[in-house]
Structure 1
Amino acid sequence: MQQLSGLDASFLYLETPNSPMHISGLYIYTQETAPEGKVRFKQILEGTANRVKGIPSLTRRLKEVPLGLDHPYWIDEGDFDPEFHIRHVALPAPGDWRQLCILISRIHARPLDRSRPLWEMYVIEGLDNLEGYPKGCFALFSKMHHAAVDGASGMEITAAIHDLSADAKVEPKTVITRPDRDPSTLGLLTRAQINGLRQPLRFISVARNTVPGFAKVFMQLRRGDLQRVGTVPRVRFNGTVSAYRVFNAVSLPLEEIKGIKNAIPGATVNDVALTIVGGAMRKYLEAHSELPDESLVAMAPVNVRDTKEKGTGGNIVSTMAVQIRSDIASARERLIAVHEGTRTAKEYTNAVGAKTMTDYSQFIPSTLTAQAARLASRWGLVNQINPIYNCVITNVPGPQVPLYNTGARMLSNFGTGPVADGVGLFHVISSYCGEFTISATSCREMMPDPDFYRKCLMASFEELRDATIVKATPKRRSKAKDKPVAKRKTAAKSRAKAKPKNPAKTLAKNSAKAAPARKRA
């Protein structure tokens, strides 16, 4: 039996009926590499069940402390019911990308059953008409509660269910585990009382280690050596979220992302991702006549897990606030500004201490936090306070070698994340085998047009690529692509007069057409 950390438990306390707190991964496979060119659901069921045996995050369920007097506990049951957790669905014809996104949105919107280990996996067949993918593909969509895993530990579990070759043979696992005994109510109350008595001493210990750092940061801020993010503008994503979700994503060449990075001295791949998202949000809000003058601000989780903590599950992360410079029209200048902003944000985070948030999260009051989250959601209090962030952008790098599941080769991977009151847009950045993906999850009422936002992401990438990568042979523009450039000034002047009726048409006037999807082998 293991007690949740304050940070892990906070994802349970902040969960509301409209805001389930789980993270998910979407993996698309081709059956062409599988034995006999076919993968059956029974193979995936048996293979996955065998591989994840012994992974604590997948065999533990929650045990609440009576009256919420302390953080909950994980009770290891030693096993799980594969047929409950691993489910089988299929898209109807034609089985295209739009249908897949709608299905992912609906599955992601459903909360997990807290009486079971907090994860689910869906095998999705019928992907016969995905542009750029061979016919007959299937997908895996995994959901895991954020209280059990973060992005880094989730990738460790992903690695556990894959092979490095199509013909790898997996021997049946025999894992001997000793299930935890269900604690009594009296036992839990006794533990809560003891922990309550120890908390003041723990707080003194943490404060003694962190207060000198806070004092140093305060002095650096006064001298101007450090800078914090200024005013965060309020946009449509800073309201109260509904119970419904939307999902969409773009796939970009990793080689071109690295080329953009190399064009600006000192820039990183993460800077490029932030810049693309900043440009996309600029285009999206501008098309809806809602673009603020100030830069939008993103919350960027930072993995602070060291080598000793790998494989432990849970959340070991810090955060930093980054301006994504949506106030800058030039794509190249936006990247330069984002790079400077991330450098400053890292300096501030390092000065405060990367694990400070994790240390202080131990003192989160369980009952008070859960009740406050429900009341805030019910009364819409987030609409009465200044926003802290406008969106979340998390980077979870993936492997650059091919992965296989029951012989089927993974072609792409995407991700989804939780959206909550005040932060209704979540981006997952990932990479795999030369492919760079940006996935977006949002509230359906805040983003009723996710396909348009996908076009904004693609157009933002193309503008940044064209502004930074010098090509030996200049790209020829057709007359059809020259027209939107001529109309851009007219569209900018008319934006203040009337709200565009069709945002998709507005984007077509402001950017080149999205590049066709690449054929995946």
Structure 2
Amino acid sequence: MGNECDEPLTPAGRLFLQPETQQIVHCAVGLKNPIDVESIKEEILKSRLVEHPRFRSLLVRDHNGIEHWRPIQIDINNHLITVDEPLPDGDVGLNQYLSGLSIQSNGLSVEKPLWEIHVLMSHNCLIFRIHHSLGDGISLMSMLIASCRKLNKPHDLPTLQLHSSNSVVGGGRGRIDLWKLVVTMCFCVIFAVEFILRCFWIRDRKTAITGGAGVELWPRKMATATFSLQDMKTVKNAVPHATINDVLFAIISSGVSRYLDSRSSNGLQDGLQLTGLAMVNLRKQPGLQELSNLMKSNSGARWGNKFGMILLPVYYHRSNSSNPLEYLKRAKAMIDRKKQSFEALFSYKIGDLVMSTLGPKFASYLNYRILCHTSFTISNVVGPQEEIMMGGNPVTFLRANNSALPHALILNMVSYAGRADLQVQVAKDIIPDPDFLARCFEDALLEMKEHVTLKI
């Protein structure tokens, strides 16, 4: 029998416990000064992390096999893992360690709440490992940032500049509203059909970055591509109404094309579609704007997993174009159509319906199928744009990645203090050179920036 204090998992939480879709989020926090382990323990014990019920609960199953959260007393020593052995210097050593954590078989013990913190003494780095059933990227970033303070104002919480999603229908009257409604309905039908076809039949053509069933179990490698947010804004401003996300997908399209140009032994058709799977926050008010409310147990549905998926096609083009901004124009046109389609909301509602009616096993099967039929995963989480500190220690970088998926290429970007770090995680037997691929992404942005600068 269950305990009366037990709380059932959400449908999304149950989904992330299935073997095919089991996911752990890793957030690496670089610190400027050497780490005092005892002070870190004290900071954690008084942080928002241990205040939240999810982080003080054990995963249990009742006699019917249904998962519940059961509150327990936290022993911080069970969650803090100190790594004293030296690692290779710089990003090489950190990414090597993260790659080992990202292998599917390297999970979290169910004998304690599903999170832990690794302290890399040689790199002055904390790695938060948090099971995806506890929350999505927005929820987990809010938990992390709520434990930090501004570097120049030690008593103030960090501020974040997030943009609310634009309303797809409305803003005008009469024929304009009717026309927008018709266009939106058409896009909804088109993308809904595309999602269904992707689950069961349609898949990307095989290329040098293609994964597939079982690839989530393969060894991983990781590299970091670093971008200046000012450079991204310079490129964004060159195309009317473009966004940073448009620039990101232009970088991915151009960078992947560069990589395939150098690695494909047989010629690929120009314009070949490679489909990415992007995770989109569905909160009406982004949770990071109200950190204290989001972290309260009675704050409603904002905490947890509330995101949808959208299919994002990028296209291979030989790297000989005289105008690199064509990648941005194509990315903007594609994302604008996605914004009108309600595709992310549709995927969330369908997933919720499938979980409620057919159960997590079938929902996990559908998610796994769509992963196997696409080429890469991409997520983008906005971090604070001013410098922050954790426990009085200045933060030098924020990075994130998740456990391996059937994709051979997984991209996770986090922005912080004027720069954006893109973690490039690969199945190393398919993409043996992630550092070169990361440079392809960096060079793509620099080429666009140089083109814009020469035009001015």
Name the TM-score, length of structure 2 as normaliser.
0.77
Structure 1 residues 350 and 446: CA distance shift in structure 2, 3 A: closer
Partner of 2:239: 264
Letter in 1 for 2:7: Q
Q: How far did 1:366 drift?
A: 3.9
Alignment of 1:116-265 (within 5 A): 116-127=112-123, 138-165=124-151, 168=154, 220=186, 232-235=204-207, 236-239=209-212, 240-241=214-215, 242-265=217-240
**Is 1:420 the equivalent of 2:405?**
yes
Counterpart of 2:379 in structure 1: which amino acid?
A: T
Name the CA distance, whole Å, in 1 between partners of 2:191 and 2:401: 37
- For residue 86 of structure 1, report the CA deviation from its aligned partner: 1.4
Contact 1:166 1:404 in 2 (8 A): no
- Aligned residue for 1:347, secondary structure, equals helix
SS in 2 for 1:237: coil
Q: Distance in 1 between matches of 2:30 and 2:70?
A: 33
2:442 alignment partner AA: M
- Report if the CA contact (8 A) 1:150-1:314 is conserved: yes
Contact 2:54 2:69 in 1 (8 A): no
In structure 2, distance between residues paired with 1:224 and 1:55: 41
Cα distance change, pair 410–305 in 1 and its aligned pair in 2 (3 A): same
Task: Report whether the alignment pairs 1:449 with 2:421.
Answer: no
Matched residue count? 397
Counterpart of 1:220, as a letter, is C
Contact 1:91 1:99 in 2 (8 A): no
For residue 58 of structure 1, what is the aligned residue in structure 2?
55
CA contact (8 A) 2:273 2:316 kept: yes
1:29 aligns with 2:43: no
Segment of structure 1 superposing worse, 327-336 or 260-269: 327-336
2:101 equivalent among 84, 99, 107? 107
Which letter does structure 2 place at the counterpart of 1:304?
Answer: L
Change in CA separation of 1:386 and 1:402 when aligned onto 2, cut-off 3 Å: closer
Q: Does 1:336 align with 2:320?
A: no
SS at match of 1:147: helix
Give the direction of change, closer, same or farther, for the CA distance of 1:39–1:418 in structure 2 (3 Å limit): closer
Partner of 2:70: 75
Q: Are the counterparts in 2 of residues 317 and 358 from structure 1 also a CA contact under 8 Å?
A: no
Mark the runs of 5 or more structure 2 residues left unpaired by the alignment.
1-5, 157-180, 196-201, 288-293, 296-301
2:395 corresponds to 1:410: yes
Considering only CA atoms, is the larger Rg found in Structure 1 or Structure 2?
A: 1
Aligned CA-pair RMSD: 3.4
Q: Give the residue type in structure 2 aligned to 1:324.
A: V
Q: Does 1:389 align with 2:355?
A: no
Quote the Cα distance in structure 2 between the aligned partners of 1:350 and 1:420: 22
- 1:353-375 Cα deviation digits (max 9, x unpaired): 475245424426447449969xx
Quick one: structure 1 residues 289 and 39, their matched pair in 2 at CA, closer, same or farther if it must change by over 3 Å?
closer
Asked whether the 8 Å contact 2:261–2:318 carries over to 1, the reply is no
Aligned to 2:81: 87
SS for the counterpart of 2:414 is strand
The answer to whether structure 1 residue 6 and structure 2 residue 11 are counterparts is: yes
| 1:246-304 Cα shifts (integer Å, max 9, x gaps) | 22112211111111111111111001111112222222223221674312111111101
> Offset at 1:93?
6.4
What CA distance in whole angstroms lies between the structure 2 residues aligned with 1:356 and 1:100? 38
In structure 2, how many angstroms separate the alpha carbons of the residues matched to 1:11 and 1:467? 43
Q: Which residue of 91, 103, 106 maps to 1:97? A: 91
- CA deviation string 1:94-136 (max 9, x = no partner): 6232122111111232111123211111111223xxxxxxxxx
Counting only pairs closer than 5 Å after superposition, residues 366-381 of structure 1 correspond to structure 2 as 366=359, 368-369=361-362
Letter in 2 for 1:125: M
Which whole-Å deviations, capped at 9, do the CAs of 1:231-256 have from their partners, x for residues lacking one? Answer: 63333433231242222112211111
What CA distance in whole angstroms lies between the structure 1 residues aligned with 2:190 and 2:14?
36
> Deviation at 1:336?
0.4
The CA distance in 1 between the partners of 2:229 and 2:29, in whole Å, is: 18
Equivalent position of 1:464 in the other structure:
448
The alpha-carbon deviation at position 223 of structure 1 amounts to: 9.9
1:477 is aligned to none
1:91, distance to aligned residue in structure 2 (A): 5.3
Identify if the C-alpha distance between structure 1 residues 362 and 30 changes in structure 2 by more than 3 Å, giving closer, same or farther. Answer: same
Secondary structure in 1 matching 2:78 = helix
Letter paired with 1:412:
F
Q: In 2 relative to 1, CA 11–295 (structure 1 residues): closer, same or farther, beyond 3 Å?
A: same
SS at the partner of 2:451? helix
In 1, the alpha carbon distance for the partners of 2:57 and 2:46 equals: 16
Matches within 5 A, 1:500-515: none
For 1:339, give the aligned amino acid. K
8 A Cα contact 2:16 2:132, kept in partner: yes
Amino acid at match of 1:7: A
In 1, the alpha carbon distance for the partners of 2:306 and 2:364 equals 25
* Distance in 2 separating the partners of 1:74 and 1:159: 24
Structure 2 CA distance for partners of 1:471 and 1:125, relative to 1, 3 Å: farther
Could you tell me which amino acid in structure 1 is paired with residue 401 of structure 2?
T
1:287 aligns with 2:262: yes
2:221–2:425 contact (8 Å) kept in structure 1? yes
Please say if residues 188 and 343 of structure 2, whose CA atoms lie closer than 8 Å, have aligned partners that are also in contact. Answer: no
Which 5+ residue runs of structure 1 have no aligned equivalent? 32-37, 128-137, 171-214, 473-521
> Contact 2:211–2:430 (CA<8 Å) still a contact in 1?
no
Give the aligned partner of residue 298 of structure 2. Answer: none
Indicate how the Cα distance of structure 1 residues 366 and 335 shifts in structure 2: closer, same or farther if over 3 A, else same: same
